[in-house]
Chain A
Amino acid sequence: MKHNSVSAVINLVEPWEKLEPLTDARPVGTLPFGGRYRLLDFPLSSIANAGIQNVMIASPRSGRSVSDHIRSGNDWNLDTIRGGLFNFPYNDLSLIAPEKKDTLIHHYYDNAILFLKRSNSEYTVVMGTRNICNIDLKALLRYHKERDNRVTTVYKSVDASEVKPTNTVLQLTDNGMATSVVQASKTIPSSEGKLAKDLNIYLMSTVDLVDILNEANQRGDLISLERLMKQAVIQHNANAFEYTGFYANIHDIPSYYKASMSILKEDNFRALFYSQRQIYTKVKNEIPTFFAKSSQVKGSLCGTGGYIEGKVDNSVIFRNVFINRNSLIQDSVIMQGTRIGVGTTIQNAVIDKNVVIGPNLELKGTPEEPLVIGKGKRIFRQTEVTNE
């Protein structure tokens, strides 16, 4: 692949409402996942592994958590004089005031057009972050080049039972072309009971993408980039590239919880993190995690910088977590910097960053409805959690 022949756009404007309170102060893309990653790390790593060095990130709001995580982009080889990382904030149309919209109406895509033109790239891949996968973008590009269609999109073949009626899937023709992206309820599974879950990845020539954006500007369409991409699939009948690796779709709390638990299965963990293509993230200099004499940790993932005295079973423990003695963490996700008090039991729960849970409490959810504690909360009384 010629240097800089491909550029990438990561679109962080994604549905976040059903992931509250985890998405109260962050886009879906910076949701922590897998002990030390953010969802954004997966597309960024696919991009880095394909040697792509021209990357635009469209953030819904200020992008504070995005900038804090990616900094110069050095951790994904994006801190380079040839290309680099370009972060564009405030792309969430629902947050733009009506009077501001008037000035934006023919200019909403100006930044993206400028980025694409300056990239001098031949092709551009547009990706979201809520579909966790480890895709080989070079293979995707080869697939695209071998075919005549202007757009290539990506799907994972999954059992229809795993797809919710509101999830989007690709409608495929008999010869494997995608004719549209629709809600699962509006389509019928294959004879094997499979649906083509769309991964929200689109590849096309940069010129075509610039045309699509220019036309949207001219029409005065204030619609999301994701909708424009879906329209492009309908308009052009896209090639459909099948992805076969580890996959998880994050659209609400139970799906986030389920995805987190699924990587505790060794096969999934290895498929996602130990393939030919490494997953990169912001590096931190944490000290090793200390397992005290009383600790009992089984079937779990742990980040560094932790201090564990209690019992941990089938859980994802992020960096810098302090788990006091006689506590039990079971089937749960504990994010960075959280502290769990002496004798506290946590089951089927997702505890966000920098939470303090006092001693001798019981925090229990169910696998279908995990208990969620938002970022930075202090919980010291049982009533604070039983009422939630």
Chain B
Amino acid sequence: MTEKNEMLAIILAGGQGTRLGKLTKSTAKPAIPFGGRYRIIDFTLSNCANSGIDTVGVVTQYQPLELNAHIGNGSSWGLDDQNGGVTVLQPFSSSEGEKFFEGTAHAIYQNIEYIDQQNPEYLLVLSGDHIYKMDYGAMLEYHKAKKASLTVGVIPVSMEEAKRFGMMNTDETDRIIEFEEKPEHPKSDKASMGIYIFNWPTLRNYLTTSFTTNKSLEDFGKNVIPMYLANNESTYAYAFDGYWRDVGTIHSLWQANMEFLSPHNSLNIGDHNWRINSKAQVLPPMFLTNTSNVNNSMIVDSCYVAGEVDHSILSQRVSVGTGSRVVDSMIMPGATIGKNVVIDHALVGEEAVIGDGAEVKGTEKDIAVVGYGEVLGVKKS
């Protein structure tokens, strides 16, 4: 547990998520539905609330409407605190010009007035697009114990995966001595999770100096961490060994949903001591008709199932007509699947309509995607 205003969390939720293609055409990546009744950002918001952080800023930029509606006043996560709460930070015009941002560190700089208002000792910077459960309070304890200026959350990855991440090379005390972005020959297995705890006055000083002189500190990975290392700031790696997934691509999003389906998933979504909350809608219970056949699947409120659902997730208000078969797929809220439809290895976007007899077939390597509100009526070969 952190003390009041000791640590402020900023969730970076402004990325476009271009690698998610059709799914992020009209919404921000953190607002994408996950696991039947969540949106990706719920994991980070719940982690904040569960870690005792009561003041959270969510930095948005790209297609923020759905995300704003989802976050509301933060009451869904118990973050509607009298003295804290969630603030959605949207770019705005000021006398210095418009406050759109380029990189992760620039996003913090553009919101410096909000952070100054909160006047925190420590700044926790988070991404809004990861699936995991983590106690940021424990990370802060570590940060204090190490008397660090910056602590970076790291997760062990295989040497093959390491080539896709920012890798932290540490000494025997876990002090970071080198940072390599997507190295060809990784020297450690510690990948940055994009989770940082900064001593705010120090970071503030670096950012203001940098942006009032030249614009070099745009990105935490590319610019800030190298500068901290070059200036010999005490920078430590905090190892996290739980379930953690970056769901930035169609395949990784599908994969994480399929993992979520397993009752043995180490994310342990049913653990009441670390609940993942979401904006709860009041909807009638799910209805499974006499012709339904559901196996190895997760279903939520207000679904109507008259067909077969196998190893799939149905989100709220999804209907599956008679004679249809949904296999190895994740169907997002409000999608309507007609009769005698086949959906196989697919992600189906919110409010999509799949007409009778249509087929949406992907493969494990090439997941099929139906976009938000997309209407498929004709039979595909």
A residues apposed to B, CB below 8 Å = 34-36, 75, 266, 269, 273-274, 278-281, 283-285, 287-305, 307
Closest to A305 in B: B270
Closest to B281 in A: A283
Q: Is the CB of A302 within 8 A of B289?
A: no
Rounded to whole Å, the gap between the CB of B264 and the closest CB of chain A is 11
Closest to A319 in B: B285
Contact (A288, B270) CB under 8 Å given A299-B290, A302-B286: no
Q: Is the CB of A285 within 8 A of B280?
A: yes
| A367–B310 CA distance with the chains assembled, in angstroms | 33
Answer yes or no: B277 CB below 8 A from chain A CBs. yes
Closest to A301 in B: B285
Chain A residues near B276 (CB-CB < 8 A): 285
Rounded to whole Å, the gap between the CB of A321 and the closest CB of chain B is 11
Answer yes or no: B69 CB below 8 A from chain A CBs. no
Query: Which of B133-141, B298-306, B368-376 is the contact stretch?
Result: B298-306
Contact (A283, B298) CB under 8 Å given A298-B292, A299-B288, A304-B37: no
Chain B residues near A291 (CB-CB < 8 A): 294-299, 309
Chain A residues near B280 (CB-CB < 8 A): 283-285
Further 16 A-B residue pairs, CB within 8 A, beyond A298-B291, A300-B287: A35-B284, A279-B282, A281-B282, A285-B275, A285-B280, A288-B36, A288-B298, A288-B300, A288-B313, A289-B299, A289-B300, A291-B294, A291-B296, A295-B294, A305-B270, A307-B263
Chain A residues near B299 (CB-CB < 8 A): 288-289, 291, 302
Q: Is the CB of A304 within 8 A of B300?
A: yes
Q: Is the CB of B298 within 8 A of A298?
A: no
The 8 Å CB contact of A298, one of B270, B290, B309, is: B290
B residues apposed to A, CB below 8 Å = 35-37, 76, 261, 263, 269-270, 275-278, 280-282, 284-301, 309, 313
Q: Is the CB of A279 within 8 A of B284?
A: yes
Chain B residues near A294 (CB-CB < 8 A): 295
| A295–B269 CA distance with the chains assembled, in angstroms | 21
Chain B residues near A292 (CB-CB < 8 A): 263, 295-296
Rounded to whole Å, the gap between the CB of B336 and the closest CB of chain A is 14
Interface-central residue, B263, B291, B294, by most chain A CB under 10 Å: B294
Closest to B296 in A: A293
Q: Is the CB of B295 within 8 A of A273?
A: no
Rounded to whole Å, the gap between the CB of B262 and the closest CB of chain A is 10
Q: List 29 A-B contacts (CB under 8 A).
A: A34-B284, A34-B285, A35-B284, A35-B285, A36-B284, A36-B285, A281-B282, A283-B280, A283-B282, A285-B275, A285-B276, A287-B37, A288-B36, A289-B299, A290-B261, A292-B263, A294-B295, A295-B294, A297-B294, A298-B290, A298-B291, A298-B292, A299-B289, A301-B285, A301-B288, A302-B286, A303-B285, A303-B301, A305-B270
Contact (A269, B284) CB under 8 Å given A285-B278, A298-B289: yes
Chain A residues near B294 (CB-CB < 8 A): 291, 295, 297
Chain A residues near B277 (CB-CB < 8 A): 285
Closest to B77 in A: A285
The 8 Å CB contact of B37, one of A288, A290, A303, A307, is: A288
Q: Is the CB of B300 within 8 A of A274?
A: no
| A297–B298 CA distance with the chains assembled, in angstroms | 13
Q: Is the CB of A289 within 8 A of B286?
A: yes
The 8 Å CB contact of B289, one of A266, A274, A290, A304, is: A266
| A35–B301 CA distance with the chains assembled, in angstroms | 10
Q: Is the CB of A301 within 8 A of B295?
A: no
Closest to A34 in B: B285
Chain A residues near B300 (CB-CB < 8 A): 288-289, 304
